[in-house]
C-alpha cells in the first residue's frame, strides 16, 4: 500500500521521526506541495496526508485509488468533505493535541502585553537602564493580572485550559459559548456576547471559524471594548476584521492586541496590522512546541494504523 505526505515540514522540520508512519506503508514524504503538484505526487496512493494542502473534488476525481485522507491538524477546512463522502473516502483529523501549548501561548502574549518583558529587555540592552537616574524604569504601564477580567469567546478544550490558568492568576473569567455549563464551572461566569466584549480587560478568542464567526470582531464590537482592554487571538485570523482592528489600535481605542494568526498566512506586506500600534504578532506558532508536534505525530500514526485495521478513529467523514 502506498501513502503520501504532501506537506510534512511544519509537523516535522527534522526533529521528529517518520519511521512509525513509514512502517505502515510505502511512504513518500514531501516538505511542501504546490497545488499543481498534488495529483502527480499522490498518484497511486491509497493514503494521503495533508496539513494545509487543499484536496478538492477535482483532486479526488484524479486520484481514483484514494481511500483515506489524514489531516495533520484539527481543522479540516482544506478537505471537500462532501466530495470525500460521495467517493467513500475516509477523512480523519487530530483533535486536542496542541491544547497545553496554545493555552501557554495565550499567556505569553497576555504577559507581554501587560508587563512588556521582551520590550524592557530590549530597552536594557539598548542602554536605557545604564543611563537611568533611578534604580528602576519602565516605559509602558505595568499591569497586574490578579483582579483583571479575562473574557473567553468559545469554551472548548483550549478555552477551558485558559480559564484554569486564569483562575490560578486570580483573574475573573467571563465566557461566551453556545453551550454554557454553570454547574460544571462554578468559578466561571457565562455571559452574552455583548457582555464579554464590554466587560473584558483581556478578550481571548477560542471559537471555530464559521459563517457566523467570520469577522466576529468588527468595528461595532471593538467600539464596545474598554480603551484599556487587550485582544488576543490564537484561533483563526478571519475571526477579526483586520482593518477595523488596526484603526482601533492606531486611534488608541484599544490598548493592544496579541495575535498568533492572521487572515492570510504568510501575511501580505501591506497588512495594516503589521504597522499598527502595540500589536504583537507571532507567526502561527502557538501549536508548534515539540511536545505538541510529537502528540500530533503519534496520533497521525495511530489514525493510519486504525484505518488499516478496519476500525478508523477520529473520523470527520
* Close Cβ partners of 166 (under 8 Å, ≥ 6 residues apart): 145, 150, 173
| Sign for the pseudo-dihedral over CA of 166, 171, 176, 179 | positive
* Close Cβ partners of 237 (under 8 Å, ≥ 6 residues apart): 259, 261, 262, 263, 264, 265
Label residues 57-78 b or e (16+ Cβ within 10 Å = b).
eebbeebeebebbbbbbbebeb
Catalytic residue positions, numbered: 236, 265, 284
Element (H, E) at 172: strand 172-176
Cβ atoms 96, 117 nearer than 8 A: no
Element (H, E) at 29: strand 26-29
The full length of the chain comes to: 317
Element (H, E) at 258: strand 256-259
Amino acid at each position: 500500500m502506498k501513502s503520501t505526505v504532501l506537506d510534512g515540514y511544519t509537523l516535522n522540520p527534522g526533529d521528529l521521526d517518520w519511521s512509525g508512519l513509514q512502517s505502515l506503508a510505502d511512504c513518500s514524504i514531501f516538505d511542501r506541495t504546490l497545488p499543481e503538484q498534488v495529483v502527480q505526487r499522490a498518484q497511486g496512493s491509497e493514503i494521503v496526508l495533508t496539513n494545509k494542502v487543499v484536496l478538492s473534488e477535482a483532486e479526488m476525481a484524479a486520484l481514483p485509488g484514494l481511500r483515506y485522507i489524514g489531516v495533520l491538524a484539527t481543522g479540516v477546512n482544506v478537505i471537500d468533505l462532501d466530495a470525500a463522502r460521495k467517493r467513500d473516502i475516509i477523512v480523519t483529523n487530530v483533535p486536542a493535541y496542541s491544547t497545553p501549548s496554545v493555552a501557554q501561548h495565550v499567556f505569553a502574549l497576555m504577559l507581554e502585553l501587560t508587563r512588556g518583558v521582551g520590550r524592557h529587555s530590549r530597552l536594557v540592552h539598548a542602554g536605557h537602564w545604564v543611563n537611568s537616574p533611578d534604580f528602576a524604569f519602565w516605559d509602558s504601564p505595568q499591569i497586574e493580572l490578579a483582579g483583571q477580567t479575562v473574557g473567553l469567546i468559545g469554551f472548548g478544550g483550549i478555552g477551558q485550559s485558559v480559564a484554569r490558568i486564569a483562575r490560578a492568576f486570580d483573574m475573573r473569567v467571563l465566557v461566551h459559548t453556545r453551550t454554557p455549563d454553570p454547574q460544571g464551572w462554578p468559578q466561571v461566569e457565562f455571559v452574552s456576547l455583548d457582555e464579554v466584549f464590554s466587560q473584558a480587560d483581556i478578550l481571548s478568542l477560542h471559537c471555530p471559524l464559521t459563517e457566523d464567526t467570520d469577522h466576529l470582531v468588527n468595528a461595532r464590537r471593538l467600539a464596545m471594548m474598554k480603551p484599556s482592554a487587550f485582544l488576543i487571538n490564537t484561533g483563526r485570523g478571519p475571526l477579526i476584521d483586520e482593518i477595523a482592528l488596526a484603526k482601533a489600535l492606531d486611534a488608541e481605542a484599544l490598548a493592544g492586541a496579541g495575535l498568533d494568526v492572521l487572515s492570510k498566512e504568510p501575511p501580505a506586506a501591506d497588512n495594516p496590522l503589521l504597522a499598527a500600534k502595540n500589536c504583537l504578532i507571532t507567526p502561527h506558532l502557538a501549536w508548534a512546541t515539540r511536545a505538541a508536534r510529537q502528540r500530533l505525530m503519534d496520533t497521525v500514526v495511530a489514525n493510519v494504523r486504525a484505518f488499516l485495521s478496519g476500525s478508523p478513529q477520529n473520523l470527520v467523514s
